[in-house]
Every structure is written in structure tokens, then in C-alpha cells.
Amino acid sequence: MPSRCDLCTAIDPTGAGGPLEHHLHADQPRTIVRTPDATVIPTIGAFVAGYVLVVPTRHTTSIGMLASAERRAVHELTEQLAERIADVYASPVVGFEYGFNLPGGRRIEHGHQHLLPSTAGPALRRYLGWHLRTSQVDSMEHLPGGADQSYISVFEPGHPLSLYPVANDAAPRIRLREVVAMLDPQVDARRWDWQSDPCADLMRRTVDDLRGSVRDRGPLAGAGQR
């Protein structure tokens, strides 16, 4: 039997959190926010404090493959978290997704939105625009919804969502974490690879920083659940 998806395990409120939980202190929840349609968790390889993943509740290869209402819910939660991250870290915020729909094409096949405090948003858009065709949509509700339509999306608060179509092909593939780490002058670009450097110290700081912010300032639901 194939092993369970790491992200399904991480957001499951009924059990242990798998690899994610191993990097947190025993008294730290692995969940920062939980709603019916999505959960916010710290990410292994958080090369800056405040780096989180917005993970849909339903297992799916990309956010675009969700039902329209689920995509809208993920976008709304991303907007709310971006506001908190910007406030807590006094920083611009960027989000991105590699919406890769090729079965068996990546180790973690559960669509998720990366979200972090970073100045790299405009540079990331330019970089991708040099390499890929670009379009814009109002929100994640309008992401491509076909299994044959892989894409990259870039989110910045107050801007339309930028879309870049990519082939359903495992290689070559742009490593967005590496690009963002390279484009942000405040980031140690050597820490981009989560498998070689989980950045556990920054993961734990992220949980403490954002859990307190969400709990104390509402209205986000379900803060601090395990």
C-alpha cells in the first residue's frame, strides 16, 4: 500500500503530524489556522520566519483542481494570512503555487500555496515573465481547472493573481523555492532545499509568532489546533 501523503498527515486533526511534527517542540501545535476547506501549517524548510503553507483539506494535485467554492475559500484564507504576516514581520508578502497535475511527477502530490514575508514578489513575476507566457486573474477561484493544465501562480496582496502555464512534464521544472530565495536579498539562498535544511529553528519561530497573532487578534477560525 502506498504511504500516506505528508500534507494529508500534517493537517489531519485526529492523528500525529508525520514529518512536520518532528521539527516542532512538543508543546507547539502543527496547525496555525484551520477552516473547513484549508489549513495553515509551518513548512519544513522555512528559510524565513513566517513562511507557511495554505493546504486544501481535500487531497488534490493543485488548487485549480478543487471545486470553485473550495478555491475561493483557499484564496480568502491566503488573503487573511498575508495581512497577518505583513503586520507581524513588517514586510511585503508573496505567495506562489506550482500547480503541477502530472500524476507521479513529484514527491508531494497535494496542492498547496506557499506564503511568506519577502520582497521577492515583483522580481519573481519578472523572472517568470521572461520565461513563460503571463496572464492575470482576479483570484484563485479562476485558476485553470483541467488535469492537463499545469501552471504557476504568484500572489501578492493588492494585485491580481499572475498565472504562467507550464507543461505537464516532470523535467525541466522551475524550482520556485530556489528562485525566491535567490531573489530576496535578506534570505540565505543556500537554505532553499528543505530536504537538506529543514530550518527547524525558523519553523518553530513561525508557529510562535503567528499563533499568537491569530489568537490575539481574530477573526481567523481554529487557531492553534493540533
Whether 141 is in a domain gets the answer yes
Q: What is the CATH number of the domain that holds 191?
A: 3.30.428.10
Whether 225 is in a domain gets the answer no
What is the per-residue pLDDT for 171?
74
Place of cell 517568470: 128
What is the per-residue pLDDT for 222?
52
Whether 148 is in a domain gets the answer yes
Residues near 126 by Cβ (< 8 Å), separated by ≥ 6? Answer: none
Q: Helices marked H in the chain — which ranges?
A: 6-11, 68-89, 121-131, 176-183, 200-217
Q: Cβ(57)–Cβ(118) under 8 Å?
A: no
What is the per-residue pLDDT for 109?
86
For the chain, 226 residues long, give each residue's pLDDT as a single digit of tens: 346 799 999 999 988 888 888 899 999 999 999 999 999 999 999 999 999 999 999 999 999 999 999 999 999 999 999 999 999 999 999 999 999 988 777 778 899 999 999 999 999 999 999 999 999 999 999 999 988 889 999 999 999 999 999 998 867 789 999 999 999 999 998 889 888 889 999 999 999 999 866 544 444 555 444 4
Number of domains in the chain: 1
User: What cell was used for 109?
Assistant: 502530490
Q: What is the pTM of this model?
A: 0.92
Whether 226 is in a domain gets the answer no
User: What cell was used for 182?
Assistant: 535567490
Q: Which amino acid is at 50?
A: G
Q: Could you tell me the residue range of the domain that residue 102 belongs to?
A: 6-217
| Greatest Cα pair distance in the chain | 46
Whether 104 is in a domain gets the answer yes
The closest of 96, 99, 83 to 183, measured between CA atoms, is 96
Phi, psi of 99 (to 5 degrees): -80, 80
